[in-house]
Chains A and B, each alone.
Chain A
């Protein structure tokens, strides 16, 4: 049994230690906003925050989660998260949307630690999140809009 704090709520997971946090979130907690894209940490669709840091939950076993977990379902409760979501909608970033939970989580983590990141910082923070629909230029613009 593993106790984790997800979005401020204490939850007990009856699951094997090696279960990736991604699947614990999606199937045990019913939080399907975090997505499965590759299973090897290459695409970023599974990005959540642990202790405020962005992590790829598909390769993070629940036994290794040290810190409170924040998912896309709750990121809007923070000021940064809310501004990111609003910028994403104002600039109509999203196409299919499947990568966007991960994109928003990566962007929120960046803006939580850098109030006005430059392009190189944005590149570094976002290079791990694949978008097959090609929304990258709008994501960049939305991150910049969310800093204002």
Chain B
């Protein structure tokens, strides 16, 4: 075996980050960065941090809860219930604890939580899970209480030692002091004594007026390590004895391996083993490249199974002709009767595609199955479920299964599914070494569990003033629930996600019916950023625009007229419209569109401004958002999440849909699953409304706003109503234009990293104040 592979053991990565390079064995001092990178400058030594189990067994120090460890050596470790996937949650959750614990963020290390059946369960989703924009809402109180409880125990310990009353003591920056006598003690000196005290059960927390950290745009705790390559994602894991595998997977849904000739593969240089599952083959190599080349040499025959001839027209027909009895969602008044009598009626059909998640970090899982236990290194949004499925597959007791969670290079819901972890465990239990499975980008797209496709029929009856007096919205789709729950979803039971964003509108509409026609299909499904709201708010907000236009009313004014009872929605609507200069004149083929929603506990309005060239190519000129998320833990993070979420949503609306032909997903990589590029992205201005209401969710809010605002802007610019995503830009071409074909060819080249100069660039002249 040629000595091409060097593994870096955890023990060789102390806090100052040295790396062993392969140069005939010499130890080379690697790059040492100057700014302290808390927590992620190397794979954190979770055992020493007392974070391999919620009770902190083995940790020398104070463990008042699953969230906090304070060592006798002064080390302060905050254990995060949610996983960091870019949304800034490590920083926000650390701020919640630190506020009450009376420490600075710079004084603590942040680590991922291990799976635990109790300690990190969140109240909204009832599991240990990061998703649904729930983290802050779920942990707003528990983390502050945990910090407050720990602080009070430290203060009590100091007071007892000094023989004074705790009320006379103050805590600040990890030091307890007694002003009257001038004494102080750092938390390190108090850890052992605090550990002997009972944990207070009912502890008060600071009023908003006393916040020192919460509400300030503090710098994130994870970003320093992300500028110098030292941050470790799941794909970067390196442990002694690790082997890496590339896969061959059945290209059709429900297919199985019939025959495999791996004789050439096994002879290939660097190939160590070939492992099989029913529907996939893993080639294990000394390194990924050897494994990948080994995969290319496999000769496999598949029994393609029920999905052999799957095609998008078939799938769409299934939705179009679904005849299941509708499952009731919401019913107020008698909408059909009122609609029949209404002076003016409108109806429309909207269609949305399957979507892949396309996280930039492709699926990867590292698993080591041993007779006495199992270790998993991965980035997952559901560490407890990951442990559960590993236990099921290996037969090992859950407490012997360690899931080491990592920074995630994009979640968007992909990592709520555990199919990829199940697969990795099934491969890894066939060998005795740690095995890292890396999916190719093609596999990551084609074997994704997709956002469902939707077919919506929406109708409204308008009263004499043009406002809706009756409203019906029927959505036809499958349900993510059986995939996420890993058990059947009973027929006739409402999946609330199917009508989320459709059933509770910001607007006052007196008679309303929203229901769901369930149409299951063969495509595996998963939550996608914005979940049901991304689908329904697109339909609702596009349709509200259609209604406004049908009675010749301004889209902002029309919405405002239905918000008398909803001041928070009204406020963001007005603020966004004003900030965007709504109503100011625009050149031809240029328009503004607005969307409004309240979802995940937050209120958001977004104005998107576009120009559409004669070929139909859409230029995103700018976007302006107003968001009321209650108390903003970190206002800069709020702005970043909205900016990022909007761009994420715009990209999908413009370019993405997963299609099937002959049983196979037609898209495979970023050349045909196009992503919005740097030169195409608009500036996104975000106004965060001041509020002292409890915090709302944030991660998905921008994405929900994006597509409807965009399509409303396209209508304003061109008069063309988009009712189907992704936007068919050929439909937007100027009537009578001969340049349609050339325009598309020009557009297609933008994605390959070379820039087409001249007319296809839009002006950035107005964005210098971003």
Which B residues contact A (CB, under 8 angstroms)? 2-8, 19-24, 28, 30-31, 33-35, 84-88, 217, 219-220, 222-224, 226-233, 235-236, 238, 244, 269-270, 287-290, 293, 358-362, 407-412, 438, 440-441, 636-637, 640, 643-648, 651, 669-671, 675-679, 681-684, 750-755, 757, 761, 764, 770
Contacts and interface: CB of A to CB of B under 8 A. Distances in A.
Given A7-B31, A41-B753, A127-B754, A23 B410 contact: no
Contacts of A30: 6-8, 19-22, 238
Contacts of B409: 35, 96-99
A127 B750 contact: yes
A37 B360 contact: yes
A39 B678 contact: no
Contact of A120 (B2, B671, B761): B761
B234 to A, nearest CB: 10
A28 B85 contact: no
Nearest to A137: B683
Interface size class of A (residues with CB under 8 A): 35 or more
Given A42-B669, A96-B409, A98-B233, A27 B244 contact: yes
B681 A137 contact: yes
Contact of A14 (B4, B288, B647): B4
B227 A95 contact: no
Given A85-B227, A130-B670, A132-B412, A37 B441 contact: yes
B228 A85 contact: yes
A110 to B, nearest CB: 12
B22 A28 contact: yes
Contact of B361 (A27, A98, A124, A139): A98
Contacts of A36: 235, 288, 362, 438
Contact of B640 (A19, A43, A73, A138): A138
26 contacts: A9-B23, A15-B4, A26-B288, A32-B235, A36-B235, A39-B440, A42-B751, A42-B752, A43-B360, A88-B223, A89-B219, A89-B227, A92-B220, A92-B636, A98-B361, A100-B227, A123-B679, A123-B755, A127-B750, A128-B753, A130-B670, A131-B678, A133-B648, A136-B678, A139-B678, A140-B770
Given A92-B636, A123-B679, A134 B645 contact: yes
Interface in A101-143: 101, 104, 119-120, 122-124, 126-141
A129 B34 CA distance: 26
Contacts of B226: 94, 97, 100
Nearest to A71: B229
A32 B17 CA distance: 13
A2 B440 CA distance: 26
Contact of B764 (A85, A119, A139): A119
Contacts of A31: 19, 229
A64 interface: no
Which 3 A-B pairs have CB atoms at the shortest separation, nearest pair first?
A: A33-B229, A98-B409, A128-B753
B67 to A, nearest CB: 23
B408 A44 contact: no
Contacts of A44: 753
B643 A134 contact: yes
Given A95-B88, A134-B647, A138-B640, A123 B678 contact: yes
A127 B410 contact: no
A12 B648 CA distance: 42
Which residue, of B7, B226, B233, B752, has the highest number of chain A Cβ atoms within 10 A? Answer: B226
Nearest to A77: B31
A17 to B, nearest CB: 11
A34 interface: yes
B419 to A, nearest CB: 20
B585 to A, nearest CB: 25
Given A30-B19, A127-B678, A97 B238 contact: no
Nearest to B706: A134
A11 B22 contact: yes
Interface of A: 6-7, 9-16, 19-20, 23, 26-45, 71-77, 85, 88-89, 92-101, 104, 119-120, 122-124, 126-141
Given A16-B293, A30-B8, 16 more contacts: A6-B21, A7-B30, A7-B31, A15-B287, A16-B269, A29-B22, A30-B21, A35-B235, A40-B669, A42-B669, A76-B228, A89-B219, A94-B86, A95-B640, A127-B754, A135-B643
B643 A138 contact: yes
A65 to B, nearest CB: 15
Contacts of A119: 764
Which residue, of B19, B361, B676, has the highest number of chain A Cβ atoms within 10 A? Answer: B361
Given A11-B21, A38-B670, A41-B753, A96 B223 contact: no
A16 B228 CA distance: 28
A130 B677 contact: yes
Which residue, of B7, B238, B640, has the highest number of chain A Cβ atoms within 10 A? Answer: B640
B223 A92 contact: yes
Contacts of B244: 27
Nearest to B226: A97
Contact of A16 (B222, B288, B289, B646): B289
Nearest to B29: A9
B289 A96 contact: no
Contact of B223 (A16, A97, A101, A137): A97
A75 B293 CA distance: 31
A85 B643 CA distance: 21
A19 B290 CA distance: 8
A133 B678 CA distance: 12
A73 B31 contact: yes
Contact of B670 (A15, A42, A77, A93): A42
Contacts of A139: 678
Contacts of A123: 678-679, 755, 761
A130 B675 contact: yes
Contact of B3 (A14, A19, A42, A122): A14
A71 B31 CA distance: 11
B678 A27 contact: no
A130 B670 CA distance: 9
A137 B226 CA distance: 18
B80 to A, nearest CB: 15
A32 B238 contact: yes
B441 A38 contact: yes
A15 B6 CA distance: 12
B401 to A, nearest CB: 25
Given A23-B288, A42-B669, A95-B87, A37 B675 contact: no
